[in-house]
């Protein structure tokens, strides 16, 4: 990175205002810097996971992070969508050949592909979300999904009228099992007598399957179903909306309450916010500023990297939200450790 690029970005970064409250970050960059930095020709890109844009969840959250960079410093941004796993390597190579200043691989399914491409392009800066690639030119951002999932599990355990709740995962990998484990533990901490149904769709891009699985859980007595399934999870929300009053979905990654709105009613009880946008934004700004390092950034409750969407104040009970704050304090203080494996939940 040329010295004049770095100097200009230092100015932009110093002027960024960061507001942290209720688990949320707001980043604002000064308008007067945007025109200057646009002329610097900075370019940032990302390759989506198979769910693609429009999942209202994981990939869209990463794209939000890129748009924050674009708005803040005027960088050119580009998104390349993957329709299948075989697209990962060619998509990453194509962007590397175009010499983007920072290239993101979005999702743990891209781990092997990024490791291969990063070795081929040792001077290219890469980032990956939800996985660790141990190479000097890759910055990895991971999250404590189990902590945020625990909190929405507490909400489900307290607000379930039937004392039966469900979980729908995308693909059954250790990462998604962290969501499941946290949720199971949260439900049980709040309501030891609750029954929990779990199912995996085998895909992150199949809303029809998500709807089918959630509907089956609703039909056997669950009244709340949490999803960690990307675009597949849109079907879970759809199933709650179709079932009607008294049935709820819990969203993930982004605040998905808008997806649950039907007229005056909303069928999304809460959402586990996973700040992929913040992870992408922060690491990108550092890279463009010349402060890029390989290694790992881990974001949990203590770092405001996960949490419960504030829109839950409109749908969840006051009792549940008070319990969420109680457990959040204990987790951040290290007084309570959330399990990451469903087998460890009693």
pLDDT tens-digit series, residues 291-327: 999 999 999 999 999 999 999 999 999 999 999 999 9
Q: Per-residue pLDDT for 10 more than 70?
A: no
Q: How confident is the model at residue 127 (pLDDT cuts 50, 70, 90)?
A: very high
Beta partners for 248? 224
Query: With the CA atoms of 41, 54, 62 and 226 taken in that order, what torsion angle do they form, in degrees rounded to the nearest 10?
Result: 180
Helix H segments across 104-259?
111-120, 145-159, 174-190, 207-219, 233-243
Residue 33 phi/psi, 5-degree rounding, is -85, -20
pLDDT digits (tens, 9 = 90+) for 205-257: 999 999 999 999 999 999 999 999 999 999 999 999 999 999 999 999 989 99
Helix (H) or strand (E) holding 227: strand 224-228
Enumerate residues 6+ apart whose C-beta is below 8 A from 53.
59, 60, 63, 79, 81
Q: Where are the domain boundaries for CATH 3.40.50.2300 in the chain? A: 3-143+275-299, 145-274+316-344
pLDDT above 90 coverage of the chain, percent: 84
Q: Does residue 57 register a pLDDT over 80?
A: yes
Residue 312's nearest CA partner among 68, 146, 148, 67 is 148
Q: Is the dihedral of CA 131, 94, 136, 138 positive or negative?
A: negative
Residue 139 near residue 105 (C-beta atoms within 8 A)? no
CATH T-level fold of 3-143+275-299: Rossmann fold (3.40.50)
pLDDT in the model for residue 79: 97
Beginning with the edge strand found earlier in the chain, give each strand of the sheet holding 268-274 in spatial order: 195-200, 164-169, 224-228, 248-253, 268-274, 306-308
Element (H, E) at 253: strand 248-253
Answering whether pTM is above 0.75, one says: yes
Asked if residue 167 lies in contact with residue 148, where contact means CB atoms within 8 angstroms, the answer is: no
pLDDT higher than threshold 50 for residue 4? no
Show the tokens assigned to 327: 């457990």
DSSP state of 316: S
CA distance 256 to 259: 5
Per-residue confidence (pLDDT) for residue 40, from 0 to 100: 64
| Residue 82 near residue 49 (C-beta atoms within 8 A) | yes
Count how many residues are written for the chain.
346
CA distance 97 to 307: 38
Cβ atoms within 10 Å of 165's Cβ, excluding its own? 29
CATH code that applies to domain 145-274+316-344: 3.40.50.2300
């Amino acid at each position: 990175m040329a010295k004049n690029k770095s100097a200009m970005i230092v100015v932009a970064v110093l002027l960024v205002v960061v507001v942290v409250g209720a688990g949320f970050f707001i980043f604002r960059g000064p308008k007067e810097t945007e025109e200057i930095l646009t002329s610097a020709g900075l370019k940032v890109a990302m390759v989506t996971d198979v769910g693609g844009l429009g999942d209202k969840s994981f990939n869209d959250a990463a794209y939000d992070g890129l748009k924050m960079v674009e708005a803040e410093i005027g960088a050119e941004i580009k998104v390349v969508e993957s329709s299948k796993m075989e697209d990962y390597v060619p998509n990453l190579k194509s962007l590397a050949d175009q010499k983007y200043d920072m290239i993101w691989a979005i999702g743990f399914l891209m781990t092997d592909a990024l490791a291969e491409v990063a070795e081929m392009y040792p001077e290219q800066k890469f980032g990956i979300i939800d996985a660790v690639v141990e190479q000097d030119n890759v910055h990895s951002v991971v999250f404590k999904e189990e902590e945020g999932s625990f909190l929405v599990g507490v909400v489900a355990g307290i607000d379930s009228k039937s004392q039966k709740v469900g979980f729908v995962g995308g693909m059954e990998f250790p990462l998604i099992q962290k969501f499941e484990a946290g949720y199971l533990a949260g439900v049980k901490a709040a309501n030891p007598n609750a029954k929990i149904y779990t199912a995996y769709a085998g895909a992150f891009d199949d809303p029809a399957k998500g709807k089918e699985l959630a509907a089956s859980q609703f039909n056997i007595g669950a009244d709340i179903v949490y999803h960690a399934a990307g675009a597949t999870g849109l079907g879970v929300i759809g199933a709650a909306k179709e079932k009607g009053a008294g049935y709820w979905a819990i969203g993930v990654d982004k605040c998905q309450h808008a997806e649950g709105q039907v007229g005056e009613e909303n069928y999304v009880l809460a959402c586990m916010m996973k700040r992929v946008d913040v992870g992408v934004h922060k690491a990108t700004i550092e890279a463009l500023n010349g402060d890029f390092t390989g290694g790992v950034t881990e974001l949990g409750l203590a770092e405001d990297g996960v949490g419960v969407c504030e829109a839950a104040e409109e749908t969840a009970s006051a009792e549940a939200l008070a319990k969420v704050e109680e457990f959040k304090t204990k987790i951040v203080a290290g007084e309570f450790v959330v399990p990451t494996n469903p087998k460890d939940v009693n």
